Structure 1
């Protein structure tokens, strides 16, 4: 489609809007200001607006022709509960303890830019739903939208997502079929023994020592139980037990929790089973009880071959064949886009965010979305719609 025909003032406006959203971050299910901006801009562009799905979610619908073919494009809107430390940034977060550290401000603006452009060009035949999702960062925004009836209200044949990727130039993309992001699950274990005086451990059953043994054995699961050719991550991320004000007391209980990630259902199942087996084995060894719980949160993001092929064609048309990578390693992070793409064929693509330096990595307190990527993102989304919903 080419972007040379776009008024430079449009990019200036989108850049200013992106920085405004960056300066006013909102956590999951609190995106009232951001959702308001989205609603107003969609309505002004002539896009039908549906608000309140998943509490603060917004869906814009543009239907041309017979509307037979239906697709959804998804962007996330929420920020993270963390401080921004880039003091030299004029549009730094104005809300203490909150910042856009993953580029959702950029994702929102690029999809808005594409909606405006598609509404103006009107060069397709079908239905496109612009999905502005709340609460991607672990609060279940995709599930909330689906539970509120997303697929009943907006049935689609395919769904597409885009995320920025530090390390790729802002005019490059990566589009690959197969696994893109891992499942994201949580687990917790409580070891319960018999507390006693720290000087008389033989009178109790030591839950603290059991927890330590478990932590050591936990990391043998990936190293020795999971197929070495199957990627997996198990991490212990929290532990609580005892009191530093009472260092002569061995506690009754110690609780440990963490995360587990995999790219296939079989490995995901194996991880759940193996963590439990390790916990029970250690508990039996030390004569303590254990309460093991595994919480499945999001499945892996796995690109459908057909949807990925259509996304690849659009990326190559918008950016040029030489600027689109067809081999790119999956990430062990997660994204609840998987909730959408588990229901219908989907593809999740990567757009460059520039060098991964000076805190440019996701969830870093100096991270910032690269505004130079906005034209590429708008161009990709626009091309994807016009090709998949081709008038002919």
Structure 2
């Protein structure tokens, strides 16, 4: 690996900062202490900051030369509503809150890069350091855009990264096109007529209608969309009834839908609503259908992905830049990629052996109470950010 020496020299201090963030997790749009910490560090390094986009977002601005060109680098800063299972020294001090996805590490990697960029400025143009709140379900990227991110800080492209447990430290993975799915929720309330369980003919039972819907929805996947298109319908909750001898008045079905394209998402939503309403009617019931679209699919742009692949290959060797297998998880970096070109890539977090004594018994997987970010990634991730920024701004477009 070709790591930057000044970043390696600062690795211990940035690790201390990362563990401080880990010990004080804050949930979406509540990242006040984290935002203050980021802004203070940037200011101490001579980097102007803009605060308040997306409530608690921070944008650092590193300029050099006379070029009007600009590129954005993004890190997410929020934690999850999870009770941490680790007991090491930097474990969460806030019950029910935990950095279980590595956003503390993402923030640390970008801060380490920021310090180097501010000191050396080996580029002509502007690097915007975007520290984004509320990735975990709050849509912080969308909120920063709506608050004028790209109006105040116009940039040619934006790049983002996520640590990936199970992939070796020293490896990256990326893919052109869809890499994360859209995230969507549905709720269907089926209304019938309550009755005694021993006299079902006197009521209208919503439970059989619910069962038929759950089975029928899978035919949308197998019979309505093209087999080569990807889509998931998962019914994850069914709520009904209060007693074993009572036919309930209503039954509620909830779940998630994931797709890689908006066309498939449109198809699934339309067919689900038609099937829900018709099935309820067939059983003598009514259905109230609600469908909420959360994050759109994350679709990397071809040219920017090729650029990132080349730069990352220069850092770790081309053989250590893998092809990412798309996941049906979701990521709100998608909102940026709907507005400007860019690429979202993965950096290997290892197999969990890095965790200190006192870690929980579970695996070191994302959204797991035994997770901890691998601090060995800080110099590597920071080096990658610096090289992406430098080469983007120093390469004629």
Matches within 5 A, 1:85-164: 85-87=85-87, 89-164=88-163
Partner of 1:259: 256
Partner of 1:27: 27
Partner of 1:231: 230
Structure 2 residue ranges without an equivalent (≥5): 354-361
Is 2:317 the counterpart of 1:320? yes
Is 2:299 the counterpart of 1:295? no
The 8 Å contact of residues 76 and 104 in structure 1, kept in 2 or not, is answered as yes
Kindly provide the CA deviation profile for residues 264-289 of structure 1, in whole angstroms up to 9, marking residues without a partner as x: 12211111122213212321221100
Is 2:375 the counterpart of 1:371? yes
Once the two structures are TM-superposed, the CA of residue 355 in structure 1 deviates from its matched residue by: 1.7
Once the two structures are TM-superposed, the CA of residue 248 in structure 1 deviates from its matched residue by: 2.6
Q: Which of residues 319, 333, 336 in structure 1 aligns to 2:332?
A: 336
Once the two structures are TM-superposed, the CA of residue 168 in structure 1 deviates from its matched residue by: 1.2
Relative to structure 1, the CA distance from residue 189 to residue 324 in structure 2 (aligned partners, 3 Å threshold; closer, same or farther) is: same
Once the two structures are TM-superposed, the CA of residue 242 in structure 1 deviates from its matched residue by: 2.3
Partner of 2:200: 201
Once the two structures are TM-superposed, the CA of residue 381 in structure 1 deviates from its matched residue by: 0.3
TM-score (norm 1): 0.95
Relative to structure 1, the CA distance from residue 339 to residue 130 in structure 2 (aligned partners, 3 Å threshold; closer, same or farther) is: same
Q: Secondary structure at the match of 1:385?
A: helix
The 8 Å contact of residues 124 and 391 in structure 1, kept in 2 or not, is answered as no
1:222 & 1:185 partners in 2: Cα distance?
15
2:136 & 2:237 partners in 1: Cα distance?
19
Q: Which of residues 306, 310, 330 in structure 2 aligns to 1:309?
A: 306
Q: Secondary structure at the match of 2:5?
A: coil
Q: What's the RMSD between the two structures over aligned residues? A: 1.7
Matches within 5 A, 1:350-389: 350-355=346-351, 358-389=362-393
Once the two structures are TM-superposed, the CA of residue 212 in structure 1 deviates from its matched residue by: 2.0
1:127 & 1:84 partners in 2: Cα distance?
38
Relative to structure 1, the CA distance from residue 137 to residue 310 in structure 2 (aligned partners, 3 Å threshold; closer, same or farther) is: same
Relative to structure 1, the CA distance from residue 200 to residue 391 in structure 2 (aligned partners, 3 Å threshold; closer, same or farther) is: closer
Structure 1 residue ranges without an equivalent (≥5): none
The 8 Å contact of residues 125 and 391 in structure 1, kept in 2 or not, is answered as no
Kindly provide the CA deviation profile for residues 181-225 of structure 1, in whole angstroms up to 9, marking residues without a partner as x: 001111111111111222221111111221122122223332333
Once the two structures are TM-superposed, the CA of residue 391 in structure 1 deviates from its matched residue by: 7.6
Kindly tell me the number of residue pairs found equivalent between the two proteins.
Answer: 388
Query: Structure 1 runs of 4+ off > 6 angstroms?
Result: none
2:154 & 2:4 partners in 1: Cα distance?
34
The 8 Å contact of residues 174 and 328 in structure 1, kept in 2 or not, is answered as yes
1:354 & 1:318 partners in 2: Cα distance?
18
1:267 & 1:63 partners in 2: Cα distance?
42
Partner of 1:349: 345
Matches within 5 A, 1:57-96: 57-87=57-87, 89-96=88-95
TM-score (norm 2): 0.94
2:101 & 2:198 partners in 1: Cα distance?
49
Kindly provide the CA deviation profile for residues 322-373 of structure 1, in whole angstroms up to 9, marking residues without a partner as x: 2211x22111100111111100111001100102685221111111111111
Q: Secondary structure at the match of 1:205?
A: coil
1:225 & 1:355 partners in 2: Cα distance?
40
Once the two structures are TM-superposed, the CA of residue 162 in structure 1 deviates from its matched residue by: 0.4
The 8 Å contact of residues 179 and 303 in structure 1, kept in 2 or not, is answered as yes
Q: Secondary structure at the match of 1:389?
A: helix
Kindly provide the CA deviation profile for residues 271-316 of structure 1, in whole angstroms up to 9, marking residues without a partner as x: 1122213212321221100111211111111110111122112211
The 8 Å contact of residues 317 and 383 in structure 1, kept in 2 or not, is answered as no
2:316 & 2:40 partners in 1: Cα distance?
29
Q: Secondary structure at the match of 1:371?
A: coil
The 8 Å contact of residues 7 and 113 in structure 2, kept in 1 or not, is answered as no
